[in-house]
Structures are given as structure tokens and as C-alpha cells.
Amino acid sequence: MDTETINSLLPGTITLIVTSLFGLLIGILTEKFKNRLRIITYQIYTQNLKPNLSKNLIGNLKISLSEREIDSLRSAYVEFENKNNVDLENVAIRFSISQGAIFQGSEGYVRSSLSWLNWTENHNDFFQNVLSEFNALPTDENGLKQIPDNLQNQINYVNQNQEYLIPVFNRKDTAHFNFLFEDPIDGSTAILNTSINHKSVRLERKVDDDKVAKKNLWTAVGIGIALVIIILTIIIYNYPENKALIIISGIVGFSYSIVGYLILEIYKRIKDYFK
């Protein structure tokens, strides 16, 4: 391919690349301004405090809490991260466990300030009201209380649900929670779930960084290959007499995957900026 041909191809190629990048940028900006969701990621780790051993090995091992024997007790650690470039205020996070399970203890704090977190006002008021109603019930001659169905449903709710408030959740900061809960008496394993109800904020489970890196790599390769194919097709269409040389150049041009990787990095940086 002579110098004149190469010089004639360069403007069109450069224009195509610039146009593609400009279109990508406009698409990113449009999508971000149209749907400005803030993302909070979370991870949940649970551990059974009583080992799963056979009756022969476990022997007389018992777990007791407040002098009450418990068949199965579990602990859970939950971490939240504000991955956005904005600070969030009054973030209420709800935790719930399976039906029949019981929360036995919990705590939460924010890493940057090491300040302890409290329940939301609504949840605390509801808990105190249920506790007051239960304490106000009379006891029979056996020292037992007859609990109405409505109150029992409320007791079940506070046993299986908690709601914490993060007054200020700074950007890139993390919040940490520890829970202790008892599995249902039917022997099933309690599952801890979490949710959030905050305007323009979405909760997402944290993804393994290695998996994300591998996905980004293949995405970059795909962008590069697609870019090379489009450019080669246009050039061959306009200069069919140089088809062989263009194909050879195209093989070298698969290095455009590097360009694809750079485009992906630009996209990620712009995406992080507008979170």
C-alpha cells in the first residue's frame, strides 16, 4: 500500500474513531443524567456457632444464652460500602431473618467515625410499644402470660426484623453490622436478608473483583475486534484493489483491542465520576 493510499485512509479512520468515542461519551452522559441511581454494595458472611458434628463427636456440647439452652445459634457479619462520589444522609437499612428465627443481638458502626449506629426512630418506637404491651399482660397461677394473636404477630415481627439508620454515609465509606440470631426450632437454617428504601439509591451485592476484571478484559477485546472489523469493511469497500494489503494490515490492527480497553477504562472513570 503506497503512501498516497495510506494518507487517504487516515482521515476516514480517525474520523470514525473520534465519532465512535464521541457517541460513547454522549450515550454515557445521557444515561447517567436520565437515571442517577446511587449504588450501595453489601456482603453477608454467616457462621454457625455450633459445629456440625455427629452425636458421637459432639458429646455434651451445648449452647446457652441467658441461661437458656439453644439448639442452633448463628452469627452474621454484614458490610456496606457507599461506592458513589456523593455523601448520603439518613440511610435506613432493614434486616430480616427467616420465619421462626429470632434476633438475639446486634450492633452497627461506621468505619470512618467509629460511631455506633442506632435503630430508626420508627422501629425503636414499635419495639418499645410491643415490649410495654407484653410486660403489661397479667400472668396466671403458673407465671405464664396469655398472649393475644395480634400481639404475638407483633412480637414475631420484632424478633425477625431490625432497621438501622446511618445518619451520614460518606462517599467511599463503609458501614459494618454484627448479628447473633437463633435458627428456627424446626431445624432449618435461618437466612439473613437486607434491603434499603431510599430515594435514588439501589442496593447491590458486591461482586468478586477478579470476576469483574476478567469480564472487563473480554469486553475490551470484543470492542477492539468489532472496531477493527468495521474499519476494515469500510476500507475494503472503498479500495477493493488493495484488499490483500488491507487484510494483512487488519491482522496487525487487532491490536486495536488495546484501544477497546482504553475506551472501557474511560467509560468506567466517567461512570464513577457521575455516580
Q: What is the pLDDT along the chain (275 residues), one digit of tens a residue?
A: 555 554 454 444 554 555 555 555 655 555 555 456 788 999 999 988 765 555 565 556 667 777 777 777 889 999 999 988 889 999 999 999 999 899 999 999 999 888 899 999 999 999 999 999 999 998 888 778 888 999 999 999 999 999 999 999 998 899 999 999 988 888 788 899 999 988 888 898 887 666 666 676 667 667 766 776 777 788 777 777 777 776 776 666 666 666 666 777 787 777 766 65
Helix (H) or strand (E) holding 161: strand 161-169
Is residue 101 exposed (0-12), middle (13-18) or buried (19+ Cβ within 10 Å)?
buried
Tell the CATH topology of 38-199. Answer: Immunoglobulin-like (2.60.40)
- Determine the residue type at 36: R
Measure the CA–CA gap between 275 and 36, rounded to whole angstroms: 7
Scanning the chain, the segments in alpha helix (DSSP H) are 3-34, 55-58, 121-136, 149-160, 209-238, 243-253, 257-273
Measure the CA–CA gap between 50 and 70, rounded to whole angstroms: 10
Scanning 100-204, the segments in alpha helix (DSSP H) are 121-136, 149-160
Q: Are 39 and 202 in contact (CB under 8 A)?
A: yes
Phi, psi of 182 (to 5 degrees): -100, 135
